[in-house]
Amino acid sequence: MNEAKQAIGAGIDRVDGRLKVTGRATFSAEHHIPNVAYGVLVQSTVPKGRISSIDSSAAGAMPGVLLVMTHLNAPRLPPHKPSGPDEQPPTPRLNLLQDDEIKYNGQPIAVVVGDTLEHAQDAARRLRIRYTEASGAQAAVLNFRSARQHPRKPKPQPGRPSDTSRGNLAGGVARAAIKVDAVYTTPLENHNPIEPHATIAVWEGEHLTLYDATQNISGVRKAAVKTLGLQPAQVRVICPYVGGGFGCKGTTWSHVMLAAMAARQAGRPVKLVLERTQMFAPVGARPMTEQRLLLGAGENGKLTAIRHDTISSTSFQDDFSEPCTAPTRMLYDSASLQTTQRLATLNPGIPTFMRAPGESSGSFALESAMDELSYALNLDPVQLRLLNYAAQDPEKQLPWSSKSLRECYRLGAERFGWERRNPQPRSMRQDGQLLGWGMATATYPANRRPAKASVTILPDGSAVARSGTQELGTGTYTVMTQIAADGLGLPVARVRFELGDSELPEAPVSGGSQSVASVGPAVYAAAQAALAKLVAMAVADARSPLHGARADALQARDGWLTTAGSGDSRDSFSDILARNGGQPLQADSSAAPGDEKRQFSAHSFGAVFAEVLVDPELGTVKVPRMVGVYSVGRLMNRKTGYSQLMGCIVWGIGMALLEKTELDPRSGRALNANLADYHVPVNADVGQIDVQVMDEADTHFNPLGARGIGEIGIVGVAAALANAVYHATGKRVRDLPIRLDQIIDR
């Protein structure tokens, strides 16, 4: 069977774009549920201790209040029963009002349910709560600098070692003519998606439906099954659209299960939406890191030694390890290397995945250190990276599945005008401002998991494809429609893609830049299977113009089956089905990784170039332009793909210059828990962004040749900007975010 590919790669408009711009796309808090009540989360105001009393009498007596659920009256949850010897309890451990212990400031300690949101909010303010706060040797640990003095190793994780080494590090250091040994830090950062975390819980007898803002509908379903003691058939999770997630919606947090518990106890559906300030403790954040980088190189610029030691913040409630050393282990060719990962345990909430976890923080340290080394060697930063280019994965000793990083450096430098750079710090000016140019390398692993899909050809000749994945705003509806259309030989306008329902074929979490790489092959395989059934139907039908034709000689195009090379013999999809009962034709399929990980190392790569203007008197930093060129496999949609990469670069600007969650050192509470004080880039902060993608298809990684692009674009941006600031000012900033007091002339 021959098929003509037309849609994949085209920069078509989002198929859900009109729904979004007209306000008709339904997000999780917007589903119209009859008789819905409103839940309000109440949070602790101390970082550690116990609840000594909760007086809910006044709140419970207020008009419209249906329920005040605390640890005193919350339903007791069944103990977790592992289904196998290796299964672990749901993580991170949830705060579901099962006891009076306080583990962090902002921990959920009550849910108030009212017939209106205003009634519930008013009653929540009337709760009278007293604490016995931990003190002395048991007091909360809130200072990262103190906690890092007592680091510990993370819990073992399969495939993610905390420590790695190769070669003779001491010998490599001794051979080095030039060394860079520096410490870099990154702060606590919060995700701040525009759509807050939101859940509507609806019970119908023993069946639970959760309308949840999530990156992982299957994960929410599994969490509900484990937490509430239900069977999978009793839980349905629906999420047609996500208004931003960036990692924080990849985990099932406490409010989801609390909404379900409150709805059951109140006897009504309950909608629970976190306020903006409530999103700074119980739903994760990017952890703080302190990273020490040692680079040793010969006078020729070849690396002889790399050591990368990281300490990242975690919580007493559960571990989360930020894998900052992951890019260091594989990006550059060095015969000797050593990395360590340690944790500093604190009492704020549990950290979690945030866009390019590990790679974004780790690349700031690694790529800043490489820039420092380039100056110490008097080598161009691009040339230094080319001298240490890894032709194969130096950690796994495997060939790359595909890699066009050399071309990324070349094209990026060309588009940026890198050859015009004067390498001396403070040597370039523009309009009275200090002009700085910097660059960095980007990398992110290619991830893929098993996924399922179904495709149905309808009697009118159109088709619907289905998979239980998620639309985060990245273009999943559009890309999967393109993939299904090419797999069927149909125009995009004749294909509809459905997602966001746990009753659809199971797909993995939309995290780790893996949705397209995982779900796309399953959708394409299902489309091809459905088409094969249609072809078999046609060639077996004596009434068809294609009767008796060889299946492999037919081509599907624009809703017709034709004999290859000639349009004289053809039959439409709708006519074939009409003559054979007029019923829909469905095919199911799945796709999963094979043994390619044992044969190849799969990563995406990129080169990032940044320009900054620094006011020599005020120390303010502006970013007039950035260039990013990427090797990400085959791009499924040029328009949505470029949009993702540009959005990542914008976030990288925020990481470099703006973002930091400020914790009160006495209480552990976020002091800037709003979008007025937690600064993120706006239009005025962002200049010209030039994004390019190399033309390649990584068919060693999956049949479509596609790798993920949702995260690589942020990697290296903070370092490129920090390097540009050094070039402009001669002042090396090793602590993010870069602020004017760090670079102003004194």
Active-site residues: which are they?
Answer: 711
Q: Which two tokens stand for residue 204?
A: 């119908």
Q: What residues does 606 pair with on adjacent strands?
A: 442, 630
3-state secondary structure 204-257: ECCEEEEEECCCCHHHHHHHHHHHHCCCHHHEEEECCCCCCCCCCCCCCCHHHH
Q: In 45-143, where do the E strands start and end?
A: 49-55, 65-69, 101-102, 108-114, 128-133
Q: Which two tokens stand for residue 506?
A: 């199971």
Q: Which two tokens stand for residue 125?
A: 């303010």
CB 554 within 8 A of CB 572: no
Q: In 632-699, where do the E strands start and end?
A: 688-693
Residue showing tokens 């949505």: 640
CA 504, CA 473: separation in Å to the nearest integer? 20
Q: What residues contact 746, with CB distance under 8 A and at least 6 apart?
A: none
Q: What residues does 438 pair with on adjacent strands?
A: 610
**Strands 270-273 and 49-55, sheet pairing:** unpaired
CA 501, CA 694: separation in Å to the nearest integer? 35
CB 242 within 8 A of CB 213: yes
CA 679, CA 682: separation in Å to the nearest integer? 9
What phi and psi, each to the nearest 5 degrees, are found at residue 557? -155, 125
| CA-closest candidate to residue 610, choices 722, 713, 706, 712 | 722
Q: What do you get for the CA distance between the two ends of the chain, in Å?
A: 72
